[in-house]
Amino acid sequence: MFDFRRSAAALIAAAGVAGLFGMPAAEAQTLKAVMHSDVKILDPIWTTAYIQRNFGYMVWDTLFAMDEKFQVKPQMVDKWEVSPDKLTWTFTLRDGLVWSDGKPVTSEDCIASIKRWGAKDSMGQKMMASVAGFEAVDAKTFKMKMKEPYGLVLESLGKPSSNVPFMMPKKTAETPPNQQIKVEDVIGSGPFIFKADEWKPGDKVVFLKNTKYKPRPEPASGLAGGKVVKVDRVEWISMPDVQTQVAALENGEIDMIEAPGVDLLPLLAKDKNIKLFNGNPLGNQYAFRFNTLFKPFDNPKIRHAVMVAFGQEEFLKATIGDPKYYKVCKAPFVCGTPLGSDEGMADVLNQNAAKAKELLKEAGYDGTPVVLMQSTDLAVLTNLAPVAKAQMEAAGLKVEMQSMDWQTLVGRRAKKDPPDKGGWNAFLTSWVAADILNPVMAGFFNASCDKAMFGWPCDAEIEKLRDAFSKETDPVKQKAIAMALQKRWVEAPTHINVGQWYQPSALRSNIDGMLVAPVPVFWNISKK
Amino acid sequence: MIDFIARRLVSIVPVLAVVAIFVFLMLRLTPGDPAAVIAGDNATSDQIADIRAKLGLDLPIWQQFAIWIGDMLHGNFGESFFFKKTVASLIAQRIEPTLALAICTLILAVVIAVPLGVIAAYRHGTAVDRIVMGFSVLGFSVPVFVIGYCLIYVFAIYLGWLPVQGYTRIGVDFGGFLEHMILPSVSLAVIYIALIARITRASVLEVLNEDYIRTARAKGLSNRVVLMRHALRNAAVPILTVIGIGVALLIGGAVVTESVYGLPGLGRLTVEAVLSRDFPTIQAVILMFSVVYVLINLLIDIAYTLFDPRIRY
């Protein structure tokens, strides 16, 4: 058979224009990745967007980090201790920590960083409410004094996902929390250095290996352990078109796609030069969020009836399709985690329309239509709303599904207007599992009325239990509180989890060492 | 002529004013909140409100408009909500790929379409004419992204001759620049070739029936001279007009082509800005496209005088 490729190559070589039409030259030490989004903002404390969190892990480091087994391990910290009355935490930094501009990392830097993060992040705010003050003992040691014992100090400082408490130089960390840090202030002590002069928004972000970085001696595990960088340079290429991403990976122009479309996974799996890697075995969780300000979901009994009406399998089949990439899991704190349990949930999420109908009647549902927002431009979300609509209608609810792009939905969900005046009753979204491992971390469990996330649930009992959970220092008792909270949540849901799903990354087969972690990280990765 | 140019340049001002008001109002009336987009998925309502205040989006619309127009009159296009860079610097960073794509497409389109149109007119009613017109219909009918994916599959993945995506600056590596420009330019040129070839054919066909063409032939001039010197030159005005109108097509096509081929140009900047509701960037880019469109049409008007001495301004 005539080989077009070989013949063409020979012709081109003969013509002496190989440089013009040749294949792109291999850059052995440059790793090129297409991430799920472009980096637009450089401040991972100012926004909760995941791409900024991923950017943060490249440039900055954390005091503590969560390993593969959900254990919080020291990262920048060498040793720490808590006083017997649990009111004073003392942290000592590792030797040899320096910022990329060569200055040493100090206690003052860390104190300022914790304060800025604590002013912005919901888990940080909760912790800071129990903090009396900080004291820099010396350049490497500082104390955090508490007003009362707080059970989630290490979990907060080792929080794996947005907002992550990244340590920044004092000058940067003193930027007001509601103001973005400047490009020139992106100075970290993490494993990579951000090349500001090569940053082209909408095109690429470049990181160089931080040669001054001193990895921990332990092997890398999750987000903890030694962050050993094995490539010289990492480029995050912005490529909005999913088909083009796949073609570029097939052609060897890029090394990795962080989040290829689920419909393209079978195509990628067939290519012998490409492998699929699920670096986040906990995956993600779909969630149906209620707006509790308005009828009918201001009534907790109606919200409970919806939980009875829903069944996860249909949601997952409609969006993900292949059972390899989803899991039916009732546990709100994610199956496979220390608090992951379906206790108290035997009667819900079984798609029991008949029972839901009865419950709606008992709750006095008066036929108020549910304005359900559907996002149409994100493939992993689009098909959720039609399933929710069908299952709610089967139970007797009236549903008005309104379709829009995700950014319109994001803008609209922040509005407290009535549903018939531009507001809403419900929508569906997805959480990264690492964001919802306990009731303080998981934003949708926040039921503090106006201070809660969009949907604004108001439930004194849930709040009391969240508070008790945060102050409890015994893990066994913490779990008991979480289960009590789960029971209350089933009675008066703030949201409904409608299934767990997984997003493998696609890599060229010559890429090794990608870590199992809730966030895609680039240390430990080598390119043959 | 100078009077005409001056008048046309002055007429840009009301055009831009209308575009500015329209774009500004459309963006404010379109659903979506940039503050909510910036704040991210885990943000609380208070965090979103803080960002909205920081961006000045909590001010009345008329006040936001007055601030924007005031800044524009001082040459300040504003700062992107997201990148914390001035919009002018973002545009400067992204203009080269778009300009390169537009120029390559235009050259390719004119070089291919005009001869095709002339040949189709000359061979009117023959198989050649039907093939050219068939291609023309196909060129109009197939969307740019479909052409793009087909070309990527054949030339990048199957044959491996050209890269799938990306851009190399012309000053960095000319070979790399051409490599990255071929597929996007061809994809975008197809519809343009179809348009220009069709108009060229119709215009030349009309001219070929004129008395002076018969006279030229009677004088014993060769077909080439008749076609190129007499027919094409007299048919040039409608062809130039369609090239000018086609610039709008080019701008729209660049948005899609840049996305398919991963070119970091203004088209993609526009799409990204629209999707993330980056108002200052959208406003500035659309105003800039309007200026370019008006100026190109002015150039086309001036060019008429070169081809048709009867046209005087």
Are A388 and A310 in contact by the 8 Å Cβ rule? The answer is yes
Which B-chain residues 26-45 have CB contacts (< 8 A) with chain A? 30-45
Q: Which amino acid would we find at residue B28?
A: R
CB < 8 Å from A in window 164-203 of B? 164-167, 175, 178-179
| Residue A16, domain member (yes or no) | no
Are A57 and A519 contacting, i.e. CB atoms less than 8 angstroms apart?
yes
Percent of chain B residues topping a pLDDT of 90: 42
A465 and A517 in a single domain? The answer is no
Mark whether A497 and A508 lie in a shared domain: no
pLDDT at A275 > cutoff 80: yes
Nearest CA in chain A to B177: A20
- Compute the Cα dihedral for B131, B137, B141, B143 and give only its sign: positive
How does the average pLDDT of chain A come out, rounded? 92
**Share in percent of chain B as helix, strand, coil (round to 5):** 80, 0, 20
User: What is the percent of chain A with per-residue pLDDT over 90, rounded to a whole number?
Assistant: 80
Kindly list the residues from chain A whose CB atom is less than 8 angstroms away from the CB atom of residue B37: 407, 410-411
Q: B3 falls in which pLDDT band (50, 70, 90)?
A: confident
Judge: A451–B46 Cβ closer than 8 Å, yes or no: yes
Residue ranges per structural domain of chain B: 2-73, 90-307
A476 falls within a domain: yes
- Judged by CB atoms within 8 Å, which residues 248-287 of B form the interface with A? 259-262, 264, 268-269, 271-272, 275-277
| A38-64 pLDDT per residue, tens | 888 899 998 888 899 999 999 999 999
Chain A / chain B CB contacts < 8 angstroms: 166
In this structure, the answer to whether residues A327 and A226 fall within a common structural domain is: no
In a domain, A62, yes or no: yes
CATH number (domain holding residue A63): 3.90.76.10
Report DSSP state, residue A449.
G
| pTM score of the predicted model | 0.84
Q: Is residue A27 part of a domain?
A: no
Answer yes or no: do A379 and A350 share one domain: yes
To the nearest whole angstrom, how far is the Cα of A3 from the nearest Cα of chain B? Answer: 9
A146 and A243 co-located in one domain: no
C-beta neighbour count of A521 within 10 angstroms:
20
Q: A289 and A321, same structural domain?
A: yes
The CATH number given to whatever domain includes residue A338 is 3.10.105.10
Distance from CA of B105 to the nearest CA of A (A): 19
**Contact flag B164-A8 (C-beta cutoff 8 Å):** no
In a domain, residue A10? The reply is no
Report d(CA B212, CA B219) in Å as an integer. Answer: 10
Predicted local confidence at residue B179, as pLDDT: 94
The pLDDT value recorded for residue A6 is 42
Best of B26, B30, B37, B42 to substitute, by most chain A Cβ atoms within 10 angstroms, is: B42
Beta partners for A286? A430
Mean pLDDT of A136-144: 97
A241 and A228 in one domain? yes
Question: For testing the chain A interface, which of B30, B44, B87, B90 should be mutated: the one with the most A CBs within 10 Å?
Answer: B44
Single-letter code of the amino acid located at A113: S
Question: pLDDT tens digits, residue range B166-210?
Answer: 999 999 999 999 999 999 999 999 999 999 999 999 999 999 888
Domain presence at residue A214: yes
Q: Which chain B residues contact residue A451 at CB under 8 A?
A: 44, 46
Q: Is the pLDDT of residue A510 over 90?
A: yes
Taking the C-alpha atoms of residue A138 and residue A144, their distance in angstroms, rounded to an integer, is: 13
Q: Which residue has the tokens 């095109």?
A: A203
Range of the domain at A393: 284-501
Q: What is the mean pLDDT of residues B64-86?
A: 86
Share of chain A above pLDDT 70, in %: 95
Question: Same domain for A455 and A326?
Answer: yes
Residue B150 has pLDDT above 60, yes or no: yes
Residue A11 lies in a domain: no
Same domain, A294 and A258: no
Sign for the pseudo-dihedral over CA of B202, B206, B209, B213: negative
Answer whether A240 sits within 8 Å of B47, measured CB to CB. no
CATH class of the structural domain B90-307:
mainly alpha
ipTM: 0.79
Per the structure, the count of domains in chain A is 3
Same domain, A271 and A290: no
| Same domain, residue pair A444 and A357 | yes
The model's pLDDT over B257-301, given as tens digits with 9 standing for 90+, comes to 999 999 999 998 988 888 888 999 999 999 998 888 888 888 888
Give yes or no: residues A88 and A233 share one domain: no
